Structure 1
Amino acid sequence: MSGLYRDVGVVLRTYKLRESDRIVVIHTKENGKIRAVAKGVRKTRSKFGARLEPMSHVRLLLYRGRELDIVSQAEAVEPLSPMLSSLDRASQGLAALEAVDQLSLEREPDPRAHAMLVGVLRTIAAKPSPLNVPAFYWKLLAHEGLRPQLDACVRCGDSEPSARLVAFDLVEGGVLCRSCRSGQAISEPALELLRDILGGRLQSALDREESPVTHEVAALATRALEHQIERRLRAVAMFERG
């Protein structure tokens, strides 16, 4: 049947439909973000079991519908259990899902973003570093063409060592020197850590222990993503309420 297609994807979120069905939002490798109906998934004896929960990495057979696709088959690519083994892992995973959901357009294939999402979920499952999600936010923004300028003042162009870079402005899109400063202050250690994340030294950054510097970079990452999507992140608001 021409309407049938196969893909792999990560479940971003779900919501109820009628008595036993559920709409599943999935970021797929070949078809981008899709919305599909999983029929009977809320029944005790559902053929899908727990394979269509948020953070699930699944291999799918779908039927392309007029408005919503239909999930015909779903097989786990890897187990979800590591992501549910601690509150920290689950919270980080959900925060990564929300970022991809907010930045992705429906039916717009983005294999690189898909690979990044799968990668960060695997990293979280292995080790819930305090910088997993902030680093993912920065890498995702860079992938979207929003990489910040970190090596020279975005306004006058001066760079170290002749100029000291002391501020970060989200509107300007990067760091500023003392003469041009606007936005918010950024410490030298935080700027170096941000350069590690975006400069090919990600593993070194993820090995950092939680500290005021990691908190500074994490808070800036959240503000940068929220500035781009023009709304508060639900995951962050939930953490703050907790």
Structure 2
Amino acid sequence: MSGLYRDVGVVLRTYKLGESDRIVVIHTLEHGKVRAVAKGIRKTRSKFGARLEPMSHVRLLLYQGRQLDIVSQAEAVEPLSPMLSSLDRASQGLAALEAVDQLSIEREPNPTLYKMLVGVLRTIAEKPSPLNVPAFYWKLLAREGFSPQLHRCIRCGEGEPGTALVAFDLNEGGVLCRSCRSGQAISADALILLRDILGGRLVEALAQEASPATHEVASLATKALEYQIERRLKAAAMFESH
């Protein structure tokens, strides 16, 4: 790849460069994570700058540079305003962005990750379910190869209905019975929701209202993702608090 190129992507984050420029980090469809300079956008309140805010879904014309690319054009694919219509939507969207930022690799195409991110942002814009982000985290983890055992004790192999599954251990990679339990407790309702998310009943799971079980699944999702990436997620605490 050399010179000008076109792509579509989602802005993950931005930060200042010099007095008037801004570096924009974008997860693109065809080129993976790209870091590019948007020149002069901090000097004026232009539509160009508004199209390059975090969570923006944009079509781009970029020029490949030696270290950082340069954004030549940016056109909105869909409006950002629904994501900014409430603190709940914004905090969920930022939590999804942070996860993708941690998992995406610079210059390594990952169209599935791009499509997952676009999908969850659209879902959040339409209805900010308490399980939008947790379900997204679990789906990301499954795609990365972490698919927890949810139907039998991962240590002794016993399962329902004869044996209650009462704990979840990230080190073990799944649920455990009362005799083998380690890690943290998991309620029967939370286990059902987790099975729905990873077992093909995502729509049903996202329809759930906020409850102790949804909070439990959300907390566990954050811990599981942090365990896999080996670092804390800053935005997760924000969306969990709302």
1:139-168 CA distances to partner (integer Å, 9 max, x unpaired)? Answer: 111111112111122222222223221110
Percent of aligned positions that are identical:
83
What is aligned with 2:122?
A: 122
What is aligned with 1:144?
A: 144
Q: Is the 8 A contact 2:91 2:238 kept in 1?
A: no
Q: CA offset at residue 241 of structure 1?
A: 8.4
1:128-147 CA distances to partner (integer Å, 9 max, x unpaired)? Answer: 11111111111111111112
What is aligned with 1:20?
A: 20
Q: Distance in 1 between matches of 2:47 and 2:11?
A: 17
**Number of residue pairs matched by the alignment:** 242
Q: Distance in 1 between matches of 2:75 and 2:21?
A: 18
Compute the RMSD of aligned alpha carbons.
1.7
Q: CA offset at residue 38 of structure 1?
A: 0.7
What is aligned with 1:175?
A: 175
Q: CA offset at residue 10 of structure 1?
A: 0.2
What is aligned with 2:9?
A: 9
What is aligned with 1:198?
A: 198
AA matched with 2:176:
L
Q: CA offset at residue 172 of structure 1?
A: 1.0
Q: Distance in 2 between matches of 1:159 and 1:30?
A: 44
Q: Distance in 2 between matches of 1:239 and 1:206?
A: 16
What is aligned with 1:109?
A: 109
Q: CA offset at residue 238 of structure 1?
A: 4.3
Q: Distance in 2 between matches of 1:69 and 1:97?
A: 20
Alignment of 1:45-194 (within 5 A): 46=46, 48-194=48-194
How does the TM-score come out when normalised to structure 2?
0.95
SS at match of 2:218: helix
Q: Is the 8 A contact 2:165 2:178 kept in 1?
A: yes
SS at match of 2:48: coil
How does the TM-score come out when normalised to structure 1?
0.95
